Amino acid sequence: MIQKIVVINSKGGCGKTTLSTNLASYYANHGYPAALFDYDPQDSSTRWLRQRPAGLAAIHGVAAAHPPQGGVTRAFQMRVPPDTQRLVLDTPASLKRMEFTEILRDATAIIVPVLPSTIDSHVTAKFIRDLSNELRIQSPAAQVAIVANRVRRNTRAFQELMSFLEEMQMLPVASLRDSQNYVHAAADGVGIHEMKAKLTRVDREQWQTLIDWLESIRPDSGTDNPYPEKQRISA
């Protein structure tokens, strides 16, 4: 079965595209046929795919925020290649009700990025409460993870974020540092795990807890590894 991973938060600018593109590239680079659906009208993930070097592992991309062109139906536009094992959805800050339902339906994993700021913390907490209600209907088995993004650990903002999340019982699965590596990766159409290992060692280590969490999920039940024949590959 396909593992459907939704990267979502109603707060804009929290790094949803960064997480989405790096997830898709990680899986493609590690032998999992991957697809990336871009629901954001800004087309950031779509542009990233267009910039992707030809020699890297292919990722099936869909500009899901826009209607199909050339007489193609929406159903055909939104098809997922039959060999796909990892489907990543990049979402905008604002979603219509029908889009929200379509995106969450049959999801196996929900990733909610949050920045170390008071505003982001409170907006995310409210969003997660709303999200939980919707998931009970659309994807009751889906697992939800918080990812602290653009983190500078020795700052008051990060400590306040961690205290807030602990109080809300929503500790992050991973904390990703504020690094220029992500800026370069976005510009070049690559992922952190496709850049020079020496330059991205710290970033790869931080990603591993998120990858481990995702690979612990079974699409049909929410537990265990859905692909036991695939060895978990350390970054």
Q: Report the distance separating Cα 127 and Cα 111, nearest Å.
A: 12
Among 68, 63, 57, 51, smallest CA distance to 26 is for: 57
pLDDT confidence band for 71 (50 / 70 / 90): confident
Q: Give dist(CA 67, CA 52) in Å, integer.
A: 23
Catalogue all structural domains in the chain, each as residue range(s) with its CATH number.
3-113+178-215 (3.40.50.300)
Which phi and psi (to 5°) does residue 74 adopt?
-60, -40
Predicted pLDDT at 228:
30
Q: What is the mean pLDDT of residues 13-39?
A: 97
Confidence grade of residue 230 (pLDDT, cut at 50, 70, 90): very low
Q: How far is CA 68 from the centre of its chain?
A: 24
| Residues 59, 49: Cα–Cα separation, whole Å | 8
The encoded tokens of residue 194 equal: 């496709």
- The reported pLDDT for the residue numbered 234 is 26
d(CA 178, CA 106): 32
At 226 the pLDDT is 31
Residue 110 · residue 137 · CB < 8 Å? no
What's the confidence (pLDDT) of residue 219? 65
Does residue 6 sit in helix, strand or coil?
A: strand
Alpha helices in the chain, H assignment, sequence order? 16-29, 44-50, 74-77, 97-104, 118-138, 156-167, 180-188, 197-215
Which pLDDT band, with edges at 50, 70 and 90, does 70 fall under? confident
Predicted TM-score (pTM) of this structure:
0.90
pLDDT band at 220 (very low <50, low <70, confident <90, very high): low
